[in-house]
Chain A
Amino acid sequence: MDKIYAHPGSLRNTTTHYCPGCGHGIAHKLVCQVIDELAIRESVIAIAPVGCAVLAYDYWDFDCTEAAHGRALAVATAIKRVRPQNIVFTYQGDGDLAAIGTNETIHAANRGENLTVIFINNAVYGMTGGQMAPTTLAGQKTATTPLGRDVKIQGYPLKISELLTQLPGVCYVERVSLQSPTEIIKAKKAIKLAFENQINKAGFSLVEVLSPCPTYWGLSPVKSMAWIKDVMSKEFPLGRIK
């Protein structure tokens, strides 16, 4: 018998601090599988975010650094410009990339930096206790919107991927989901393309990953996946945006 699905070599064999059913574990695995398949482990540099994935460097067995909250793309820009031979990617959540880091995100994209961005959208702030994020859906209950997000007070969910497609420096934007094995396979293809774009010097690539947060959605892991399919992906449609 041959092993047909193995633990990726660039993912450390350790227990993560993530809650049961958290999408970060799946997304970490996809990133590591792509890095192993492209054989870029020795040249890749990851920028870990502030958020639940702040300790990603404890799980990835390749070079990583940490940025201040929201500044991952500013740090990535510096690293890529100083070391253009390296493959540089950021791994950011919605609170990091779409709230405090909106400025850095839009300007790095507008400059057409040759970077890869993995954007984990779980519609809440996970690390700080499940507060409303810019991507929280209308009507969604969070710690800071206990009656549900009221668009007249808190505004509408921010679709950062659609916003970025307006910028000429952006080469590739796709929204994928972790809701089922088939969607996870599609997500891996998108992440691989985003890395290949950087290898081919094509410009700024972003993959938005709809990821479950069972703890702060108040759902079981299985129901969280169903919620992505039935509710979240209606607000954030899947597929290639640019």
Chain B
Amino acid sequence: MAKITIDKEKCKGCFLCVGVCPKARIKAEKTLNKKGVNPVTFEDKGDCLGCSFCAIICPDCCIEVYK
């Protein structure tokens, strides 16, 4: 059982985290943040592995992981 938190105001919408999630639980959000980009959002379905790949590849340090 694990989860991630995303700082959506810091997110620049590069979507690098989307492609590395082995469970495909990170998606682009439909609403814009204050920067005017679509940030990513975490769909928690209880199967996050806590692998931290999303946090490791995030260039803007927006993601923190809990396990």
B1 contact set on A, CB distance < 8 A = 1
Max count, chain B CB within 10 A of own CB: residue among A4, A8, A18, A19: A4
Interface of B is mostly: loop
Q: Tell whether A11 pairs with B61 under 8 Å between CB atoms, given A2-B66, A21-B16.
A: yes
B50 contact set on A, CB distance < 8 A = 4
The answer to whether the Cβ of B32 comes within 8 Å of any Cβ in the partner chain is no
CB distance from B39 to the nearest CB of A (A): 11
State the CA gap A82–B18 with chains docked (Å): 47
A8 contact set on B, CB distance < 8 A = 61
Quick one: which of B42-67 are within 8 Å of A by CB? 50-53, 55-61, 63-67
Which size class do A's interface residues fall under? 20 to 34
Supplied contacts A26-B59, A181-B52, 17 more A-B pairs, CB within 8 Å: A1-B1, A1-B2, A3-B65, A3-B66, A4-B67, A5-B52, A5-B64, A6-B64, A18-B59, A20-B12, A20-B59, A25-B59, A181-B51, A184-B57, A221-B14, A221-B15, A222-B18
By a beta-carbon cutoff of 8 Å, the part of chain B in contact with chain A is 1-3, 10, 12-16, 18-20, 37, 50-53, 55-61, 63-67
